[in-house]
Amino acid sequence: MDFDAYDLDSAFYDEMFLPDGTPRAHCRSLHESLLRLPVEELVRMQERVTHSFSSEGITFTVYGGEEADERIMPVDCLPRILPGADWRQLESGLAQRLKALNRFLADVYGSARIVEDGVVPVDLVRGCPQYRVEMRGVPVPHGTYVAVCGTDLVRTNEGFHVLEDNLRVPSGVSYMVANRKAVKANLRRLYRSCRVREVEHYGRMLRETLRELAPRAENDPCVVLLTPGVYNAAFYEHIYLAHEIGATLVEGRDLLVDGGYVYMRTTSGLQRVDVIYRRVDDDFLDPLVFRPDSLLGLPGLMGVYRAGNVTLVNAPGTGVADDKSVYAYVPDMIRYYLAEEPLLRNVKTYICRRPEDLEFTLDNLRDLVVKRVGGSGGYGMLVGPESTPDEREACASELRENPADFISQPVLDLSRAPCLIRSRAAARHVDLRPFVLHGRQTRIVPGAFCRVALREGSLVVNSSQGGGGKDVWVLED
Amino acid sequence: MLSRSAQGLYWMGRYLERAAHLSRLMQLQVETLVDRPLREIHFGWNRVYSSMNQLPPAGTLEAFGSDDYTLADSYTLADHLTFEPTNPDSIWNCFAYARENARQVRNYISAEMWLSLNMTFLRLQGLTIQEIWKTAPESFYAGTAKDIATFTGVAEATMYRDEGWHFIQLGRYIERVQLSASILLAQIAAQDRQDESFDADWANLLHVFRAFDAYVHSYSVVVQPGQVLDLIVTDELLPGSMRRSLDAVSSVLDAIGSGPSPGAGRDAAALSASLCAVVLDGSNDVTSWRATLDQVNGDSRKLHQQIMDVYIAYPLESLAIR
């Protein structure tokens, strides 16, 4: 495969090439191998990878029309490489950030010092729909509210930025592992020669993390993974993770509360449950406390949780810390709780509940990305430069009506990486979602789910919106 | 194991058995279309629908004997039984349900089993009756039956013999007993309606159960209904005989144990044992065969319900933990 027609553009950081078109030092062997490989071979490899995903049922579900559609996550077989030094910098930044976020959660559900000291505005916390009064004063094991975090990072010419902290039910880790397995099997020699760090032990690390959080001192706590069910977009991931951590995959209807404990219904009777790794949103966890119409959760669960007889991972109410408005204050939290300077940058964020930020946003809609504070999955967001006047008008009227529901950010020049598109190498925008675990201690696998906006020029990397995945190779030093 | 997962495995076993049975019937029926007399073709469709406890799209089985309509419309009937999305027992739907159940219990079956089932599902996905009818439809049905046999072999070779395994077997054998009872009753009923008995129909029935060679070996080349029934129901060595299926149900229930409330568990085991005794006795004439099969039919449905009540949807009040 050659890179003669590769569209290098200095406006964007390229993950493989320097601005002068020579490969970056850590990408040289990948570049050389790709030059040697006939493009037909790469196309065949791409087909093999896609075929293996299909036959193994590595799918996600998309909702659009009347029916749910089970789709394969498109995976681009050219890996994205991160040198060891880059990774170390990210690793410490991510750990620092999660530490501060857990302290923030303990604080806002406890004495609310940060609010009293005026670092974070009180209305932002209390007015956040994800703030759960039910969590006030509830002790959580080791102060770990967020045990599993999937941080979205993007790289520009200025370096890495945190785009979003996903602290509720972050997904994508199964694709990190699946992409690795598929790409490794197809680029065997190159993989071996590059000395890539492993990611396949994520499941073991997650299992250790969950065990550390069990409410009773038992050698073998009963851990279950609570899924909304087979129609959930991430159901494959739930199956995969349940298998990896040796947990039973349950739905709300398999559980019941009795005498202050949670049990699951098994063929030999009821079995007590200690830890619930829940992949169900707060709203649906317990119809007696949150949404009364929820059929996905378990009535009485919050009562057992508050009594300390079961652990929920992540804890309910963590959404207050990954709210898109609260996000703007994370650097301040790091300074406040840890007395350290943030190691990872935030993206400049305009909080539309502030009149001056709203005005700025309305005046600059063409150049900004507008996001709903509680939204996710790329749904309901406006990308200014790609929008039509009608879309901007609709967005503006929504902004005027409910300014507190929105934030805006400058359009980021997301870095690009070469992808195999229609039998040639083409630059596509990418992001990076590493996963950070925290039980008693912090654990991070050296890898990430890299999302790719497969449509030319697109900045939306979400799989539900035409995005795909890429394997990330973190190199040993 | 989680009750809902046990249920999923049980239904996966049942749906695959149903798909295998229907594929086998369709393979034989499609072969009949080539050169057999119209009467035999009518009889065949009649038997397929009766054994599935279903009515054809026209709503009645009576039309089958009346004219050439049936032959011309075999295409529609085959489509209805193979791909029709609104027919819950079409081969495609049986596969889709089996695969949907398997997807939810993927962690209880071996990776090879999932792969085998998913590949068959993907092969069938998007196929239409037009496509399979163009060339040799019997090879499609034979291929489907073979895929299920491969799945069964893969399961045999790779799955840990734990509770999950037992629930798959339970579903498989209970489904087989019910389908066998239905098809034998349909055969007897069809014979009653006709003045003369046709050897070809009974020989064909032997082929459904892959019992023709065994029959010739045990009896003779002359096919006699009483002996056919005796072989299919009571034979100890025939892999698909009712007796073997019921024995398997009993041993599986024994292996699973009596569940959270032992009384109910013992009742299910007792019903299963009594079913074994019923078929072991066999019968002498067609009338008493009908009574035997009616009893097996009814009791096996009762047994299904008991299994659900014992292991899956048991009442919580009776449990020791409370």
Residue B149 pLDDT class (50, 70, 90 cuts):
very high
Of A351, A376, A397, the one marking the end of a domain is A351
Tell me the C-alpha distance between A146 and A103, whole Å: 10
Q: Domain for residue A114, yes or no?
A: yes
Query: Same domain for A292 and A390?
Result: no
Other Cβ atoms within 10 Å of A214 Cβ, number: 19
Does residue A130 belong to any structural domain of this protein? Answer: yes
Domain around A358: 352-411
Domain match, A132 and A100 both = yes
A311 within some domain: yes
Residue A269 counted as domain residue? yes
Total domains present in chain A: 2
- Residues A380 and A333 grouped into a single domain: no
A257 plus A394 within the same structural domain? no
Query: Does residue A51 sit at the B interface (CB-CB below 8 Å)?
Result: no
Helix pair B163-193, B38-51: axis angle to 10 deg:
140
B52 to chain A nearest CA, in Å? Answer: 28
Chain B residue closest to A248 (CA)? B2
Determine contact: A68 vs chain B, CB below 8 A. Answer: no
Digit-coded pLDDT (tens) for A93-111: 999 999 999 999 999 999 9
Tokens (6 digits) for A418: 């070469």
Nearest 5 degrees, angle CA A39-CA A40-CA A41?
Answer: 90
In our burial notation (b when 16+ CB lie closer than 10 A, e otherwise), range A192-210 reads eebebbebeebbebbbbbb
Asked whether A225 and A238 are in contact (CB, 8 A), the reply is: yes
**pLDDT averaged over every residue in chain B:** 90
Rounded to whole angstroms, how far apart are CA atoms B215 and A267? 41
Q: Give the pLDDT mean for A112-120.
A: 96
Shared domain check, A328 and A210: yes
> Are residues A374 and A362 located together in one domain of the fold?
yes
Query: Does the beta-carbon distance from B311 to A267 stay under 8 Å?
Result: yes
Say whether both A288 and A380 belong to one domain: no
Task: Looking at A199-317, list the stretches that DSSP marks H as alpha helix, in order from N- to C-terminal side.
Answer: 202-212, 235-245, 301-306
Hey, of A267, A271, A272, which one would you mutate to test binding to chain B, going by the most B CBs within 10 A of its CB?
A: A267
Q: What are A428's strand-pairing partners?
A: A417
pLDDT of residue B322: 40
H helix runs in B224-285, sequence order: 225-234, 242-256, 262-281
Q: Are residues A134 and A236 in the same domain?
A: yes
Q: Check whether residue A334 and residue A389 sit in a common domain.
A: no
The arithmetic mean of pLDDT across residues A350-368, rounded, is: 93
Please give the helix or strand (H or E) that residue B204 lies within, else none. helix B199-208
Residue A139 shares a structural domain with residue A263: yes
Asked whether the beta carbons of residue B4 and residue A243 sit closer than 8 angstroms, the reply is: no
pLDDT single digits (tens) B192-218: 776 555 677 899 999 999 999 999 999
Average pLDDT over residues A233-259: 95
> Which of the listed residues A301, A323, A351 is the one where a domain comes to its end?
A351
Contacts of A254 in chain B (CB under 8 A): 2-4
Query: Using a CB-CB distance cutoff of 8 angstroms, which residues of chain B are in contact with residue A256?
Result: 316
Lowest-confidence pick of A121-125, B44-48, B97-101, B246-250: B44-48
A175 within domain boundaries: no
User: Which residues between 259 and 318 in chain A have a beta carbon less than 8 angstroms from any beta carbon of chain B?
Assistant: 259, 263-270
Please identify, among A351, A369, A387, the residue that sits at the C-terminal boundary of a domain.
A351
Q: How confident is residue B61, by pLDDT bands cut at 50, 70 and 90?
A: low
Return the residue of A nearest to B113 by Cα: A56
Contacts with A227 from chain B: Cβ below 8 Å:
none
How far apart, in whole angstroms, are the C-alpha atoms of residue B231 and residue B235?
5
Terminal C-alpha separation, chain A: 28
Kindly report the CATH number assigned to the domain that includes residue A363. 3.30.1490.270
A267 to B322: CB separation less than 8 angstroms, yes or no: no
Separation between Cα atoms, residue A384 and residue A364, nearest integer Å: 8
Residues in chain B, total: 322
Q: Closest chain B residue to A52 measured between Cα atoms?
A: B115
A54 contacts B122? CB cut-off 8 A: yes
